[in-house]
Amino acid sequence: GAAAGLPATAAAAPATGQPGAALPNTVVPAPVSAVADGTTYRLTASATLSSDVPDIGAYLAGVLRASTGFALPLSTGASGPGTIALQLSGAPAVVGDQGYQLTVTTHGVVLRANRPAGLFAGVQTLLQLLPASVESPTVVPGPWTVPGGTVTDYPRFAYRGAMLDVARHFFTVAQVERYIDELALYKINYLHLHLSDDQGWRIAIAGWPQLARYGGSTEVGGGPGGWYSQADYSAIVAYAASRYLTVVPEIDLPGHTNAALASYPQLNCDGVAPGLYTGTDVGFSSLCVPLQLTYTFIDQVVGEIAALTPGPYLHIGGDEATSTTAADYASFIDRAQQIVAAHGKTVIGWHDIANATLLPSTVAQFWDTSTTDGALATAAAHGTKVIMSPANKAYLDMKYTHRTKLGQDWAGLTDVNTAYGWNPGGYLSGVGATSVLGVEAPLWTETIVTPADLDYMAFPRLPAIAELGWSPWSTHGVSAFDHRLGAQGPRWKALGIGYYHSTQVSWP
């Protein structure tokens, strides 16, 4: 129904299009509040844009000019008078740093936010209130209408992430940038890059040149692999920032390290380098915990990456270290956390790290398929914040159905309603909403090779996880979601995103 559980539209709300009704039920993630006033704004050739943040004005102008063909001159500077005005003033305090208020009248659109990130989020909502063809890269006919009313919106969780595994298969800077553009549509604000694993090391480290040169020279299946120069990595960081995403780099330690061990014999306990690995097993490699060089190595790698990373977090992996004893693992995680902290970053680790002693600021990322984890619950009780990525819900590399060609099924089959059907704030026993920093949708790439593969696995599930991270739980409802999600299909088509046509979604 039109109400979609929005707080502003209780049972007695009038029908869509009437004053006081919900705005058309198409926006993903569902906004906190969206109230129609029964009017319509029509964007025409005479419209103008103004933006207090030049880059955000240019981003919106770029989308609108391409599909409408209108000139849409853009003025920048404090609270300009455009027909569509993006303003860093006048937003209600409740929208915070990431939210916005969007007011649409017959005369035009005013978008207000306290911070640029909020304006950027509001631009995504405005675009979703325009016809889907607004995403067309070429000029198409209108009319370009926006329903009149007010949207007041802000996120439930501060961290809404997506992870891309560029280690199992390498993805170029341009391919990562395309994924960033897609993530931005759904108000994802962190891009976690899994930069190293058994099959590849993907970032140049000046002090250890063989890591990328040799360790990055292959991938799953034996293809050519690849790696980012530090300039490439900085380009990804800057591009992500232009879409209001923060990069979280991950160097997976102490397991998942065959590519590093293969590149430097002296990192191995026995001094012998293993061969490069192009299979898909996990859990067989480990850095040499008793070796002092291990920590020199981590210090230099973390130091270089931290210096290139403006965001607060650095991910140390920590998962599936099944070739490391429990005592070695605990002492290793202690030292790795100290090293990251010394370089000014906050540690994130897969939730396995809750078996070690965590720094107060360390964040644990839950990836298991169960709804109980004793060590993690204990850590949460002591203040550890958690990012929720349950593999049977949030993993974008799981198959949708048994017929899905790509992907794995070790965590189960994950069609859209499964991806959507859980509450991050009440999923894990002993980890309540106040312990949850947010959600993340990881995309592991053992079976994922091309950008088309990424699109197919991420859409339509990524928007489901994005909504769980952004929207208040009061908006949660599977049938309304499947309708709103369906309305996104024509947008993906216009954008050239080849998605899975799930039978659970109400495509228009």
| 400 in contact with ligand TNX (CB under 6 A) | no
Question: Smallest gap, in angstroms, from Cβ of residue 487 to ligand TNX?
Answer: 30
Phi, psi angle pair for 108, to nearest 5°: 165, -165
Q: Does 173 bind ligand TNX (CB under 6 A)?
A: no
Find out whether 145 and 41 touch, Cβ atoms under 8 Å.
yes
Q: Quick check: 350 binds ligand TNX (CB under 6 A)?
A: yes
Applying the rule CB under 6 A, the residues between 451 and 470 that interact with ligand TNX are none
Smaller CB distance to ligand TNX: residue 178 or 399? Answer: 399
- Between 350 and 427, name the residue whose CB sits nearer to ligand TNX: 350
Nearest to 483 by CA among 474, 475, 495: 475
| x-or-dash string of contact with ligand TNX, 298-327, rule CB under 6 A | ---------------------xx-------
Does position 278 bind ligand TNX by CB under 6 A?
A: no
* Mask for 281-300, x = binds ligand TNX (CB under 6 A): -x------------------
Output the smallest distance, CB 140 to ligand TNX, in A.
Answer: 39
Interaction pattern, residues 359-398, with ligand TNX; x per rule: CB under 6 A: --------x-----------------------x---x-x-
CB-based contacts of 167: which residues, under 8 Å, 6+ apart? 194, 195, 196, 197, 198, 199, 200, 201, 202, 219, 252, 259, 445
**CA 210: distance to chain centroid?**
30
**CA dist., res. 336 & res. 142, Å (int):** 56
Rounded distance between C-alpha atoms, residue 421 and residue 416, angstroms: 8
Alpha-carbon distance of 36 to 146, in angstroms, equals: 11
- What is the CB neighbour count within 10 angstroms for residue 73? 11
444 binds ligand TNX (CB under 6 A): yes
- Shortest CB 389 distance to ligand TNX, Å: 8
Assign 469 to helix, strand or coil.
helix
Shortest distance in whole angstroms from residue 255 CB to ligand TNX: 9
Instruction: Work out which of 408, 417, 418, 506 binds ligand TNX, going by CB under 6 A.
Output: 408
Closer residue to ligand TNX (CB): 1 or 221: 221
Active-site positions? 320
CA distance from start to end of the chain: 15
Distance of CA 501 to the CA centre of its chain: 22
Among residues 82 and 407, whose Cβ is nearest to ligand TNX? Answer: 407
The dihedral through the CA atoms of 16, 104, 127, 425 has a sign that is negative
- What residue ranges bind ligand TNX (CB under 6 A)? 282, 319-320, 350, 367, 391, 395, 397, 408, 444, 446
